[in-house]
Chains A and B, each alone.
Chain A
Amino acid sequence: MSGILEFVTHPLNAVTFFPLVGVVAILLLAREKETLIRWVALGTSLITFVISLGVLGLFNPQDPGLQLVYDRPWFTVAGWTIRYVMGVDGLSILLLLLTTLLTPIAILSTWTAIQERVKEFMIFFLLLEIGMVGVFLALDLFLFYIFWEFTLVPMYFLIGMWGGPRRMYAAIKFFLYTMAGSILMLLAIVWLGLHYGTFSVPDILAQGPVMGPVQYWLFLAFAAAFAIKVPMWPLHSWLPDAHVEAPTAGSVILAGVLLKMGTYGFLRFNMSLFPDAAKYYAPWVALLAVIGIVYGAIVSFPQRDVKKLVAYSSVSHLGFVMLGLFAFTPQGIEGAILQMINHGISTGALFLIVGMIYERRHTRDLDAFGGLWKVMPVYAVLSLITALSSMGLPGLNGFVGEFNILLGALGSRVLGSYWFAGFAALGVILAAVYMLTMYQKVFLGPLDKEENKCLQDLNWREVVTLLPLIVLMFWIGLYPKPFFALMHPAVEHLLQAVLK
């Protein structure tokens, strides 16, 4: 009993598993009490967010290493001792906060949108939060893998049960695609475990990173899982399906957090475990990233389904993140970490925005709108800020990330060419093209469709859903110092280890 108490009072375990409390509570509630279930889910996720703020309070930004580490032997199977290792550092703290912030926001967005099987929906959603937080905190490869796979299950159901017409197709594709990459990662994890005698990442690194030719294979095996998740071009084919079919809240979490699991995986594992391979493959990764940036931006432009448009824009934005990571410069990596957060904020907000209009009009076809500013001015202004944030207008968050990524990539010794940044800068132009096209088709022009003439502007709940994200857009855009301060030492530490 005291063991359990000791377990749950550790802040990282508390923040990971607290949603379980909500799950149990909702299980005990009758399914007819939908409003109460919603409040329980929202309350649970809000408390989880508060706990994560507590973690932030305990976090020492000056310390480059892992903090609040919880490391216990877990169980023994066939003579193997699996350890349970959790910890947080400058690479993961912001992603933890992003996850715990986006979850209540996403839940709030379902208030009226989800009317069927509310109970199951909220259970899956809270389970999903456990998996996501676990992914960012787990430091044992075995534990990481379990959390990693675990996130698939609730997401599978969120898409498969509350999704659009082709939801089963999308859910299965999402599942299979991710599984395919994960299997290779699992093999690599097993190899590491056999070789080092442990799955614990700190223990492995204490023995020194993987050397020799095998690291190139291991890098690729991990990369397979992560590149699909990001998704890097050309492995992005599951993303538009998943986004188009997923319910709004699912899209918010999918774009906001799940994709970051891929980029985070590269940052956490590929770089520190296989530094030589990472440097060796950097130009190739950067090449795919730049292709993704440009390709994603071009392909977004002619889409008529707003969700598909935003989905492809994610391919472009995540390309920026990958380019920044593999530039191996402080600006590139810090810009990339910030851009992960930015993308979560901006694209999360974009999906919320799409959801709001979908709830009113039950269509996402760009040609069904036009001139909405006239009837929904608050919605139009908040959407404009979000669109500008997404396309990297200075003063808002996206710019700070993109600028540092491109700057870091241009001067990167590891990449060794100006052309990566040169071509990636095309993405800056093309982002304006697809974002403004979308904005114009929805909000500007004459209000000429009968169905749009009596649309209601946002209600208070909807404004409150968007407001935290809008505030963050300005905060990060104007004064990103506190965010960078959290990652400086960790990034420096990582770069020293990789570049030495």
Chain B
Amino acid sequence: MFLETVAHEGATFFHLAPLAVFVPLLGVLLNAFFGRRWGERGVAIVAVGASGFAFVIAVLQALSLMAHPEGAVVPIAEWITIGDLRVAWAQKIDTLSVTMMLVVSGVGTLIHIYAVSYMHYDVRYKGDPGRYARFFVYFNLFIAMMMILVTGDSYLTLFVGWEGVGLCSFLLIGFWYEMDILGRPSTANARAAMKAFVVNRVGDAGFLLAMFLTFWFFGSLQFDEVFPRVHEVAAEHPWVLLAISLLLLLGVTGKSAQIPLFVWLPDAMAGPTPVSALIHAATMVTAGVYLITRSHEIYAAAPMAQEIAAMVGGLTALVAASMAVSQYDIKKVLAYSTISQLGFMVAAVGMGAFVAGMFHLVTHAFFKALLFLGSGSVIIALERAHHPLPEEGGHGHEHDEHGHHAEHHDEHEPFNPQDMRVMGGLLKRIPVTAWTYIIAALALAGIPPLAGFWSKDEILLEAKHLQPVVYALLSAAAFLTAFYITRQVLMVFFGKPRSEAAAHAVESPRLMTGVLVTLAVLSAVGGFMNAPGVHAFGHWLEHTLGHVPVLEFDPVVAGVSTLIGLVAIFLAWRVYRATFAWTEWSQDPLRRYLRGLYDVLAHAWYWDELYQVVFVRGYRALAGFLAFAVDWTFWHDWFHDVLIAGGYRRLSRFLSQPVDLGIIDGIANGLGNSVRGLALVMRRLQSGYVRNYALAVMLGVVSMLVYVAWALR
């Protein structure tokens, strides 16, 4: 077999790595310029093809690495060279970057395929079918940017991808920029997009400063030149490593949605569901985890930063999990869940358990992508039941060019297909979606032998040894995780349908369910790649991370975490059992136990509201004060106009009259045609408006020039 030959005999395909960036970019250009002409089928072929090609390239890299585990640096072009600063466009191919490439392009391609069908419905329900191509332009751009991020051979090239995916995130959150998530005319989605970008910029500023420090103390930004010098620099200036790792951590809290910068991610759910799955769950948001893993030498030399990072991750895991408990929006639950799971990963890589963190990154990509895609399938199922498209026998007149949202203007509350309160009983109506969803949910809850169990267990095991406090935080978070995901599964798939739409929901097309099933298989068995006794994944990463000590499988830790999960599932079932008979949602049963706390959690601890008051309103007030009071009223109007100009006016009225007129007359008489024209123009200006004090000075210059020109000959 060809592939086996490659893996064993050592032909390398490293030089093909740039294609993983360029082919998706080609897809971007093709669909941007011709997409509208090609129609949905053509767009889909190009976009999926480009993403799939990137996956093939990633697989070839992986095969090449089997024979040459040391990897390679693939140079493309020079970029910035000034003094000692030398940064090239180059790709670093090693087991870490290729792991990310495989996840990004593999899961990415699956989500592309899913989106081919999903977006067909979405653009019609939102009332603008012409936007189909644009979606895939952004989607392919995202793959290209993500590839730059994970393969960059220096902090700076990584940063290009880092901000590039941020841009794609901005564009895709604001994909339906003229409406809110219910399709009503609003700036809500656009504001969510901007919030994501700006909050990320805060983190990026930290990233930038970290790079500056790195350059001045390491003399380079290239990974291969920075890391070997860590011990040397750590010995000379210990504070530098702490500063760099904390500034990078600030970047991580932005991109990977950790405390204190996580607030953008729940709002990012405004993007179409495949976006949430690909960007805001499986790949982009894990870039921070990748960044810390990539910088493992630096973090290892700054133990204090490690403690802080692990604590940030642990706290985020717990806090976000608590916020997920009382959400009603199917995607919001998953959003907080993602923040929480990212907390697990950041805690892991923060405390130095890089393999465990990366392992969880991979399994999470499978099951969280599946959860999001499943939720998308549910949403579309409800939409289709609520309003069949004309091609499916719906009423054509409802789908005029304004889309179906237009007809809801006079209703109080438009139908919200994301509200779990109008779901229920979907297990029977959409069984494939339901069962794959349940598999993913159990994987998330950490039930053996599904993927999430193994990776989470590894994190907990490491935490128990490295940072017991974080272990406690994560265990509590694991309990809440199993609880909220069970609550969601029960609300969505069990009990009785609580709306007409739920009662008539239709299973999604095969293109979508096929992807769900594929991801379900991965979520089920993906954990075995690093299960105790196998550790294939750990050995794979060892080529990049150096020797990684493997902790012995601890049945107590595994048992306790499994028990926690099962107890939480049982409790959730006990609490929500009562709702199975409901045909209409009333007060949440959990509220009876939690009372006021329930509302606090439902409002995500009022975290957003706090930021709104302190930062948004605070900044508005400051900016308004500076712009209008200080800069305009005081500096512009009073200081300049009243004090300087007014004073000058009085002075010049006294002085300038005779001088001014004398000069004008002299010039106008003495000079040639063109200059006379100029002077006439000036006179016209002067007679038409207020006295022109600049005139004397200006004419002085003109006459000087004329004199000079004359003197020259």
Are A and B physically bound partners?
A: yes
Q: A172-B693, A176-B694, A407-B215 are in contact. Are A75 and B712 (CB under 8 A)?
A: yes
Q: Is the CB of B194 within 8 A of A446?
A: no
Q: Is the CB of B685 within 8 A of A161?
A: yes
Q: Is the CB of A404 within 8 A of B198?
A: no
Q: Is the CB of A411 within 8 A of B178?
A: no
Contacts of A77 in B (CB 8 A): 711
Q: Is the CB of B674 within 8 A of A404?
A: no
Q: Is the CB of B627 within 8 A of A237?
A: no
Contacts of B620 in A (CB 8 A): 302
Q: Is the CB of B712 within 8 A of A74?
A: yes
Contacts of B193 in A (CB 8 A): 440, 444
Contacts of B631 in A (CB 8 A): 237, 299
Please, how many angstroms separate the alpha-carbon atoms of A478 and B21 in the complex? 14
Please, how many angstroms separate the alpha-carbon atoms of A301 and B631 in the complex? 13
Q: Is the CB of A75 within 8 A of B711?
A: yes
Binary contact readout B195-219 vs A (1 if CB under 8 angstroms, 0 otherwise): 0011001101100110111011000
Q: A150-B701, A302-B628, A411-B216 are in contact. Are A429 and B198 (CB under 8 A)?
A: yes
**Using a CB-CB cutoff of 8 Å, which residues 588-628 of chain B contact chain A?**
619-620, 622-624, 626-628
Please, how many angstroms separate the alpha-carbon atoms of A395 and B25 in the complex? 13
Contacts of B170 in A (CB 8 A): 436
Q: Is the CB of A175 within 8 A of B697?
A: yes
Q: Is the CB of A27 within 8 A of B674?
A: yes
Please, how many angstroms separate the alpha-carbon atoms of A348 and B685 in the complex? 28
B4 within 8 Å of A (CB atoms): no
Q: A150-B705, A437-B194 are in contact. Are A374 and B178 (CB under 8 A)?
A: yes
> Contacting chain B: which of A37-45, A420-428, A454-462?
A420-428
> Contacting chain A: which of B80-88, B385-393, B563-571?
B80-88
Please, how many angstroms separate the alpha-carbon atoms of A407 and B154 in the complex? 15
B77 within 8 Å of A (CB atoms): yes
B293 → A minimal CB distance (Å): 21
Of A161, A173, A240, the most chain B CB neighbours within 10 A belong to A173
**Using a CB-CB cutoff of 8 Å, which residues 110-168 of chain A contact chain B?**
120, 146, 149-150, 152-153, 156-157, 160-161, 168
Q: Is the CB of A394 within 8 A of B690?
A: no
A373 within 8 Å of B (CB atoms): yes
Q: Is the CB of B77 within 8 A of A157?
A: no
B698 within 8 Å of A (CB atoms): yes
Please, how many angstroms separate the alpha-carbon atoms of A331 and B216 in the complex? 12
Q: Is the CB of B190 within 8 A of A429?
A: no
**Using a CB-CB cutoff of 8 Å, which residues 74-116 of chain B contact chain A?**
77-83, 85, 89
A434 → B minimal CB distance (Å): 9
> Contacting chain A: which of B159-167, B454-462, B661-669?
B159-167
A400 within 8 Å of B (CB atoms): yes
Please, how many angstroms separate the alpha-carbon atoms of A152 and B579 in the complex? 78
Contacts of B627 in A (CB 8 A): 298-303, 312
Q: Which residue of B has the minimal Cβ distance to A411?
A: B216
Q: Is the CB of B212 within 8 A of A410?
A: yes
> Contacting chain A: which of B179-187, B365-373, B418-426, B554-562?
B179-187
Q: Is the CB of B698 within 8 A of A445?
A: no
B681 within 8 Å of A (CB atoms): yes
A330 within 8 Å of B (CB atoms): yes
Please, how many angstroms separate the alpha-carbon atoms of A66 and B293 in the complex? 50
Contacts of B711 in A (CB 8 A): 74-75, 77
Q: A371-B178, A411-B216, A432-B197 are in contact. Are A237 and B636 (CB under 8 A)?
A: yes
Please, how many angstroms separate the alpha-carbon atoms of A139 and B80 in the complex? 30
Please, how many angstroms separate the alpha-carbon atoms of A149 and B698 in the complex? 9
Contacts of B202 in A (CB 8 A): 429
Of A75, A172, A374, the most chain B CB neighbours within 10 A belong to A172
Contacts of A172 in B (CB 8 A): 692-694
A451 within 8 Å of B (CB atoms): no
Q: A302-B620, A444-B178, A448-B185 are in contact. Are A156 and B81 (CB under 8 A)?
A: no
**Using a CB-CB cutoff of 8 Å, which residues 430-483 of chain A contact chain B?**
432-433, 436-437, 440, 443-448, 478-481
Q: Is the CB of A168 within 8 A of B685?
A: yes
A197 within 8 Å of B (CB atoms): no
Q: How many residues of B contact A (CB 8 A)?
A: 72
B76 → A minimal CB distance (Å): 10
Q: A302-B623, A407-B85, A411-B212 are in contact. Are A444 and B187 (CB under 8 A)?
A: yes
Contact of B187 among A160, A395, A440 (CB under 8 A): A440
**Using a CB-CB cutoff of 8 Å, which residues 684-713 of chain B contact chain A?**
685, 689-690, 692-694, 697-698, 701-702, 704-705, 708, 711-712
Please, how many angstroms separate the alpha-carbon atoms of A299 and B216 in the complex? 32
Contacts of B201 in A (CB 8 A): 428-429, 432
Please, how many angstroms separate the alpha-carbon atoms of A290 and B704 in the complex? 38
Please, how many angstroms separate the alpha-carbon atoms of A100 and B179 in the complex? 44
Contact of B80 among A74, A171, A404 (CB under 8 A): A404
Contacts of A331 in B (CB 8 A): 82-83, 85
Contacts of B78 in A (CB 8 A): 479, 481
B223 within 8 Å of A (CB atoms): no
B403 → A minimal CB distance (Å): 12
Please, how many angstroms separate the alpha-carbon atoms of A77 and B708 in the complex? 10
Binary contact readout B637-654 vs A (1 if CB under 8 angstroms, 0 otherwise): 001100001001000000
Contact of B167 among A300, A393, A407, A428 (CB under 8 A): A393
Q: Is the CB of A120 within 8 A of B681?
A: yes
Contact of A440 among B80, B191, B640, B692 (CB under 8 A): B191
A89 within 8 Å of B (CB atoms): no
Please, how many angstroms separate the alpha-carbon atoms of A240 and B635 in the complex? 12
Q: A329-B83, A410-B213, A440-B190 are in contact. Are A153 and B163 (CB under 8 A)?
A: no
B177 within 8 Å of A (CB atoms): yes
B24 within 8 Å of A (CB atoms): no
Q: Is the CB of A444 within 8 A of B163?
A: no
Q: Is the CB of B198 within 8 A of A436?
A: yes
A245 within 8 Å of B (CB atoms): no
Q: Is the CB of B190 within 8 A of A388?
A: no
A219 within 8 Å of B (CB atoms): no
Please, how many angstroms separate the alpha-carbon atoms of A298 and B190 in the complex? 21
Please, how many angstroms separate the alpha-carbon atoms of A300 and B619 in the complex? 12
B174 within 8 Å of A (CB atoms): yes
Binary contact readout A292-319 vs B (1 if CB under 8 angstroms, 0 otherwise): 0001001111110000000010000000
A179 within 8 Å of B (CB atoms): yes
B205 → A minimal CB distance (Å): 5
Q: Is the CB of A302 within 8 A of B624?
A: yes
Please, how many angstroms separate the alpha-carbon atoms of A393 and B77 in the complex? 19
Binary contact readout B332-358 vs A (1 if CB under 8 angstroms, 0 otherwise): 000000000000000000000000000
A489 → B minimal CB distance (Å): 12
Please, how many angstroms separate the alpha-carbon atoms of A146 and B92 in the complex? 55
Please, how many angstroms separate the alpha-carbon atoms of A161 and B178 in the complex? 40
Contacts of B77 in A (CB 8 A): 479
Q: What are 12 inter-chain pairs, A to B, with CB distance below 8 A? A: A75-B712, A150-B705, A173-B640, A329-B83, A400-B80, A403-B208, A404-B80, A406-B208, A436-B197, A436-B198, A444-B177, A484-B81
Additional A-B contacts beyond A404-B85, A428-B205 (20; CB < 8 A): A146-B704, A152-B701, A176-B693, A179-B694, A179-B697, A298-B627, A301-B623, A331-B83, A334-B82, A394-B160, A395-B160, A404-B82, A407-B211, A411-B212, A426-B205, A429-B204, A433-B619, A440-B193, A444-B193, A446-B178
9 smallest beta-carbon distances between A and B, as pairs: A444-B190, A446-B185, A330-B83, A445-B187, A411-B216, A444-B177, A410-B212, A175-B694, A394-B160
